[in-house]
Amino acid sequence: MKNLDSFLKMYGELTEQTITVNFEESDKVPSEALDYLGETIQVSDLSGARNAINLVNQHARNGKELSKGLHRPSFAIRGVIEGFYGTPWTHNQRKRGLIHFAKKNMNSFIFAPKDDPWQRFDWRTPFQASFLKTTEELVQLGRDLLVDVSVCVSPGLTISYSSQEDLSALLVRYTQLHQIGVRRFGLLLDDIPGDLQYPEDKKNFATLAEAHAKLSNDVLSEITKLGHDTSLFVCPLQYHGRGHEPYISELGKKLDPAIDLMWTGRQICSEYLEVIDAKIFSLTPQSAHFTGITFRLTMLPWCTNYISAQFRKEMLN
């Protein structure tokens, strides 16, 4: 394992947590997991060490001792989306948020504030230097905390899917983001008109799903030229339901399998997500692109539930 001692020191300082156990490296422990033996904890990677620090300190604060044995996350992607309407978080709130997410064993933060003009309304304009500077700070802090920072663009209100100029404008932004260290990109096509808007688009595409698939595939094709470690996820126009609806069925069949789709379950604000839904998706052509909040196929999970008052207090105050 690379730089375990330096990581433990840095992470303890960033999160103001103490390191009270000894660590041993073991390739027998799964990634992100830890095996607590009593006096020592075995891990195979830095994520496992981070999660171990969090669990030991959490139990200590509650006056308990971590139980011996293997501890591992329940699902692969765990994080928070800043994707709400209303006043966006400040830069300092995002930095405090990243620390809080890391302490909760999360590994993902998606940066997509709906009402910040850069995200939905001014998407054709290249990012300003000031935005890139603060976003790079978030990316680096996330890297130190083992929280991946993704950045999204939402062009769907005004984009022409037939326009090479519009595609190029999107790619300028993704290229700028790649230059400051972003490797996972979001293309958000939710909360937009449900029909094709421009004459050229109506001429070139039979359905909106076909246009969305073409745009998404083109974006993926171009960003993969930036590096082999880049990836793309898409929030479709319809991001909830059972998976057999016409739009999402067509989109899923036409998307490149490397693209992840966001899905919230049967409802926009689902109280629960059923395993049976994952099984249904796994048996249909479009399912290869869906992820539920508590399971992973090749989908990206998200949930529109409101952040609890206690969570807001811990993170933002």
The pair of structure tokens assigned to 121 is 């309304």
Determine contact, residues 287/246, Cβ cutoff 8 Å.
no
Indicate if 191 belongs to the active site.
yes
Beta-carbon-side half-sphere exposure of residue 125 (alpha carbons within 13 Å)? 10
Parallel, antiparallel, or unpaired for β 108-111 and 79-82?
parallel
* CA 4/CA 47 separation, integer angstroms: 10
* Percent of the chain that is helix, strand, coil (3-state, to 5): 40, 15, 45
DSSP 97: H
Beta-carbon-side half-sphere exposure of residue 227 (alpha carbons within 13 Å)? 13
Q: Among residues 116, 190, 191, 256, which one is catalytic?
A: 191
Task: Give residue 131's identity as a one-letter amino acid code.
Answer: F
Count CB-CB contacts under 10 A for residue 168. 11
Give burial (CB, 10 Å; 0-12/13-18/19+) of 150: buried
The pair of structure tokens assigned to 123 is 């998407």
Q: Give, in degrees to the nearest 5, the angle at Cα 110 between 300 and 193.
A: 75
Could you tell me how many helices (H) and strands (E) the chain has, helices first? Answer: 11, 13
The catalytic site residues sit at: 191
